[in-house]
Amino acid sequence: MARGKAVIVGIGQTEFSKDSGRSEQRLACESILAALDDAGLTPADVDGMTTYTIDNNEDVDLVRALGIENLTFSSRVGHGGGGAVGTVAHAMAAVESGLANVVVGFRAMNERSEQRFGQSQMNNTGGAKGAGTGFIEWSLPLGSATPAVWTAIQAQRYLDRYGLTNADFAPVSVHLRQMAATNPNAWFYQQPITVEDHQNSRWIAEPVFRLLDCCQESDGAVAFVVTREERARDLKQPPVAIRHATQAVPFESETVTNYYVEDVTRFETGVSTAKTLYEHTGVGPADFQVAMLYDHFTIAIFWHLEANGFCKPGEAADFVRSGEIGLSGSIPVSPNGGHLGEAYIHGMNLIAEGVRQVRGTATNQVDDVEHALVAAGMSAAVLGRC
């Protein structure tokens, strides 16, 4: 089997909504077909597949539905949305090792109309198997039952340490909604907000998160296609290089219920992915023209900015307030509107936007993107031009 560098050659997605009206399997198939069509490939070309441990779709069902001949590679990535970019790492590894020729990565969910993450998990007896969290045993009995509370526990320490308040999150929310306002695919298209809107929204976890600090709940699916660079020459789209992609599971870390690392104000997982990526690629924070940063809550943008070296620890609030994450700032963040503005497809829509930014086809396009960072916490990648 021929080997070579892995590249992203296709992206596809469904509409983003609050009620898709169809099955998660159908959403997965629609997004995969769209991504293959974008690449100029068909299901007959696919021999690899990767998704999240907590995606409800089975690979056997998708092979059966799409008419795929055979998968020689199939994997799942843990750590919930934090592991999102791990799908890119797995696809890259499969292609570059020769385990597969064409790998599709996807995430499909009716997260608003069927299984709402933001509702109480008190009756979640299934546990978080494979998701990398300890919330069932060590959080639920104490009434810590939602991602907002799990994350707020860490965020409160951050705010207290640096003398900040919830108002310091407002510019993050305003920025992402401003980006979404000019993105026709975004749920919050043409619906920008003000700092006052943010501050007037109701408390979700006091005194840390208000409603407008939280990502949306969404139905939808996004997929990408990875193959090797030589193969990409014959395909429809200019390929996007995966300079490197990595996962991170640091000592004593957990997904969202991350209480046991020595310093909860330091985004240990993001620090780890940045270290790996910068060592492997030789690229540093000054070399990115755009950053797609996983925003389950506004605080995450602060954590990513600091962990990846865009600013120093404790300086993210000032950095954001001074406009550095805007389209004309030093590091434009999530020009699709991110999870707060576009949709919450669990990180996969951030990967797709990273690809568009490198291609130069995004709605809110940043000029001359040579390198894009896509970071989800426990996984991250450097995308770039071939």
Q: Which residues are catalytic?
A: 294, 344
For position 149 contacting other proteins by CB under 8 A, the verdict is yes
Task: Count CA within 13 A, CB hemisphere, residue 322.
Answer: 9
- Of 60-68, 135-143, 327-335, 344-352, the segment contacting other proteins by CB under 8 A is 135-143
Contact status, residue 34 vs residue 18, Cβ threshold 8 Å: no
For position 216 contacting other proteins by CB under 8 A, the verdict is no
Name residue 385's beta-bridge partners.
240
Structure-block tokens of residue 93: 């590894």
For position 44 contacting other proteins by CB under 8 A, the verdict is no
Residues with Cβ within 8 Å of 57's Cβ and at least 6 positions away in sequence, in order, are: 24, 25, 28, 51, 106, 108
Interatomic CA distance for residues 281 and 161, integer angstroms: 33
For position 60 contacting other proteins by CB under 8 A, the verdict is no
Coil, strand or helix at 361: coil
Interatomic CA distance for residues 76 and 94, integer angstroms: 12
User: What are the angstrom distances between the C-alpha of 69 and each of 9, 66, 79, 85, 274?
Assistant: 20, 9, 30, 26, 38
Specify the residue, 120 or 190, whose C-beta has the smaller distance to other proteins.
Answer: 120
Specify the residue, 340 or 374, whose C-beta has the smaller distance to other proteins.
Answer: 340
- Of 50-58, 180-188, 197-205, 234-242, the segment contacting other proteins by CB under 8 A is 197-205
Q: Which one among 21, 163, 184, 251 touches other proteins, defined by CB under 8 A?
A: 251
Give least dist CB 137 to other proteins, A. 5
H or E, element range at 292 = strand 290-293
Give least dist CB 124 to other proteins, A. 12
Give least dist CB 144 to other proteins, A. 5
For position 157 contacting other proteins by CB under 8 A, the verdict is yes
Specify the residue, 263 or 367, whose C-beta has the smaller distance to other proteins.
Answer: 263
User: What are the angstrom distances between the C-alpha of 72 and each of 46, 59, 133, 180, 245?
Assistant: 9, 12, 30, 39, 21
Give least dist CB 218 to other proteins, A. 18
For position 33 contacting other proteins by CB under 8 A, the verdict is no
Give least dist CB 182 to other proteins, A. 30
Q: Which one among 141, 282, 323, 360 touches other proteins, defined by CB under 8 A?
A: 141
- Residue showing tokens 């060590």: 138
For position 156 contacting other proteins by CB under 8 A, the verdict is yes
Specify the residue, 215 or 362, whose C-beta has the smaller distance to other proteins.
Answer: 215
What's the distance, Cα to Cα, between the start and end of the chain in Å? 22
- Residue showing tokens 């069932």: 136
For position 203 contacting other proteins by CB under 8 A, the verdict is yes
Q: Which one among 105, 134, 220, 332 touches other proteins, defined by CB under 8 A?
A: 134
Contact status, residue 280 vs residue 244, Cβ threshold 8 Å: yes
Name residue 242's beta-bridge partners.
383
Specify the residue, 252 or 279, whose C-beta has the smaller distance to other proteins.
Answer: 252
Question: Which spans of this chain sit near other proteins (rule: CB under 8 A)?
Answer: 118-120, 122, 134, 136-146, 148-149, 152-154, 156-157, 160, 202-208, 211, 251, 259-260, 264
